[in-house]
Amino acid sequence: MALKVFDLQCENGHVFEGWFSSHDDFHQQQHNGLLTCPLCDSREVVRQVSASRIQTGPRQEEAAASMASAPQWQAEWMRRLREAVRSADNVGDQFAHEARRIHEGEAPERAIRGTATPAEREALAADGIAAIPVPAMLDDDHLQ
């Protein structure tokens, strides 16, 4: 099955890719509110105009064979991403405080995860402290 790759953008201007089985699949997911921005979790996601695809690589048969392996590499990528998130030190609702301590050299440099309010995330960003929201689907701790 050929996948449709669309350029998407959320209401906050974040641009990302979405892979769909068809145009109808995209529209159905959009209508049902299933599309979310991977950076800010916004559900206001629209399709952007995409550049035309020009075949410059393998012939269509070879390309179709490589696309058939797409679900396998996507599953492996998701597994590795989940593993990376879960291996980070979970500091819970102390995320903003601990991120600031690490940034200021008061705590050891390490990967952390936890929760932060929108105001805390904005304050971290204003101070040049990088932090990104991680969708709950990548972290099993929210189920416990």
Predicted structure pTM score: 0.49
Using alpha carbons only, give the angle 74, 9, 127 rounded to the nearest 5 degrees: 95
Q: What is the 3-state secondary structure (H, E, C) of the chain?
A: CCCEEEEEEECCCCEEEEEECCHHHHHHHHHCCCCCCCCCCCCCEEECCCCCCCCCCCCHHHHHHHHHCHHHHHHHHHHHHHHHHHHCEECHHHHHHHHHHHHCCCCCCCCEECCCCHHHHHHHHHCCCCCCCCCHHHCHHHHC
User: Which residues are within 8 A (CB) of 83 and not within 5 positions of it... i.e. 6 or more apart?
Assistant: none
Residue in this structure with the two tokens 């206001």, named with its chain if needed = 44
Residue 141, pLDDT above cutoff 70: no
Residue 143, pLDDT above cutoff 50: no
pLDDT of residue 1: 58
CB 8 within 8 A of CB 17: yes
**What is the Cα–Cα distance from 140 to 142, expressed in whole angstroms?**
5
What does the pLDDT look like over 23-50, one tens digit per residue? 888 888 888 888 888 888 888 999 887 6
Residue 57 pLDDT grade (very low, low, confident, very high; cuts 50, 70, 90): low
pLDDT of residue 66: 58
What does the pLDDT look like over 97-133, one tens digit per residue? 999 999 999 999 999 999 999 899 999 999 999 888 8
Residue 144 pLDDT grade (very low, low, confident, very high; cuts 50, 70, 90): very low
What does the pLDDT look like over 62-76, one tens digit per residue? 656 655 566 677 778
pLDDT of residue 65: 60
